[in-house]
Amino acid sequence: MGFSTLELDPLEPGILRLTINRPKALNALSPEVIAELEEAVAAIAADAALRVLLVTGAGEKAFVAGADIAAMSQMTPLEGREFSNRALAVFRSLELLPIPVIALVNGYALGGGCELAMACDWIIASDKAQFGQPEVNLGICPGFGGTQRLTRLVGRARALELVCTGRQVKAEEAYALGLVNHVVPAADLLAKGLEQARLIAAKGPVAVKYAKHLVQRGQDLDLDNACQLEADVFGLLCATEDKAEGMRAFLEKRPAKFSGR
């Protein structure tokens, strides 16, 4: 697919990298980037061969340094609301992809960049990464889901502190807060992402898909209903070819060859 602000690179069978490619603008999220992300995520959702998506930013300075301030400065209230709604919809569609989505944060992840990273399933950060929701410095609040996803990840009090002060946190503090899963040297970021992607790609794809669904859906249910949903999905997976192959391979002490059926 031809994009002017994104790159889609198949790294290995089943593993795709999506790169926000505006390094001169620190990969800022302009309306054009959001529109192209919408198109890219729809194409990724339709590709049954994919197992893992890695999301990163071009260059060494930034994952995404925020939304495009020059573009936002000219928006009317209605245009600002539409921009926010469109970004929210795109990030939600990214979050709901049926495959794991891992953010590889290589530098600044601020404002919309932090929100994009949080819309991924988890974050691997370079030791040079920095995170923050500095929108209050511009007289606005987060508009791409930051107040909601950050609260769910780090808790109400910590999220309020970060949002209301606009303070940036380095990778190690982000890890301590629970925002980041892993911190690695900058040179090892892609290797760590591929290591995890390969582990996932070797598992039963139907099982991975529904495990992700259970974690996401269960957050919105009480414990009894969430556990019943898990039991229902567990039973359904017992009807798959992957279940038969996985258990047969275990008993035969050999690697499983999953078909995704």
Provide the 8-state DSSP code for 256. Answer: -
CB within 8 A of 111, min separation 6: which ones? Answer: 65, 66, 67, 132, 133, 134, 135, 142, 144, 146
* Segment holding 152, helix H or strand E: helix 146-154
Q: Active-site residue among 36, 60, 115, 173? A: 115
Within 10 Å of residue 214's Cβ, how many Cβ atoms? 17
- 60 is annotated as an active-site residue: no
Within 10 Å of residue 90's Cβ, how many Cβ atoms? 24
Q: Active-site residue among 135, 161, 241, 252? A: 135
**131 DSSP β-pair partners:** 109, 169
CB within 8 A of 74, min separation 6: which ones? Answer: none
Give buried/exposed letters for 170-181 (b at 16+ CB in 10 A, else e): ebeebbebebbb
Nearest to 40 by CA among 94, 92, 86, 77: 94
Rg of the chain's alpha carbons, rounded to an integer?
A: 19
Position of tokens 């000219």? 74
Provide the 3-class DSSP secondary structure of residue 127.
coil
- 252 is annotated as an active-site residue: no
Cβ distance 126 to 132 under 8 Å? no
Q: Which residues are catalytic?
A: 115, 135
